[in-house]
Chains A and B, each alone.
Chain A
Amino acid sequence: MEFVNRTEQDITVVSIRGQRMDAAAAPQFKGHMVDLIQQGGTRFVLNLEAVDFMDSSGLASLMSSMKTLGGHGEMVVCCLGDKVRKLFAITRLDRGVFRIFATEVEAVTALSSSAKPG
């Protein structure tokens, strides 16, 4: 699994370059996010457009990254395919836990207009 990061204002957009976000790939994603957070990142957009398959370990790695932020930042997701969107719905993570946006532009705009974490 590879990642492409870009920074816009103080928002880090992480695009996942891999079709599967599963138990085999989850530790790598988690490690990548921990590195970014330790480097001072607090606001993240995760672009999941390339992800075609996600399992509970993939979801858990997203949740773990949220917990690593510890309430001092925000993480939103965008560009979910049908299968991944359905997974968020079944596990009810789309109800107030993760903000989901259709496009990267919408996600960045929404984070930009959010109050910066203190």
Chain B
Amino acid sequence: MDGIRLSIASRLELVRLLGLAVRGICQGLPFSGEEVDALELAVCEAANNAIKHAYKGKPDGSVRVNVVVNDTGLVICVQDRGAPLEDTTKLANELSAPRSVNELPEGGMGLFLIRKAVDSVGYKAGAPDNVLVMRKAFSKQSK
């Protein structure tokens, strides 16, 4: 699948560059400002997860992002070659509203924010790449 390809080393300080690049792409498409913000955040969360969990913080991996624009929307694939996500049910977790400090969630907010940002999220583990696929349809009338 052809698309716009981006790649960074697996270092957290580089993730913002992926986010800004995706923001730039989305700003040229029929998305609202809030949707652009959410898509930038989703890509950053996916890349952070790849670095922190798949590569376990090791800086010698790479995180690749492929952005495909079609007639109806956007498909963003975030790929890594680290350890796969073991518990894919996390992809569907809802956040409960914490009522006190003790109920604050320890993790899982990143995947929740990704789900909130896009229409659908898919995940394929290994062989050889782990791929998180995010799809988002255009909301505004195409120019």
> In the assembly, what is the distance between CA of A92 and CA of B95, in Å?
8
The answer to whether B13 touches A24, judged by C-beta atoms less than 8 angstroms apart, is: yes
The answer to whether B44 touches A22, judged by C-beta atoms less than 8 angstroms apart, is: yes
The smallest C-beta distance from A97 to any residue of chain B, in angstroms, reads 5
> In the assembly, what is the distance between CA of A32 and CA of B40, in Å?
27
Residue-by-residue, is B105-138 near A (CB-CB < 8 Å gives 1, otherwise 0)? 1110110110010000000000000000000000
List which A32-60 residues lie within 8 A (CB) of chain B: 53, 55-57, 59-60
The answer to whether B15 touches A24, judged by C-beta atoms less than 8 angstroms apart, is: yes
**Chain B: number of interface residues, binned into ranges:** 20 to 34
Identify A23's interface contact among B12, B37, B40, B105, CB under 8 A.
B12
> In the assembly, what is the distance between CA of A11 and CA of B16, in Å?
33
> In the assembly, what is the distance between CA of A52 and CA of B3, in Å?
29
**Chain A: number of interface residues, binned into ranges:** 20 to 34
Identify B101's interface contact among A55, A67, A86, A91, CB under 8 A.
A67
List chain B positions with a Cβ less than 8 A from chain A.
Answer: 12-13, 15-16, 19, 34, 37, 40-41, 44-45, 48, 51-52, 95-101, 104-107, 109-110, 112-113, 116
List chain A positions with a Cβ less than 8 A from chain B.
Answer: 20, 22-24, 53, 55-57, 59-60, 63, 66-67, 69, 71, 83, 86-87, 90-93, 95-97
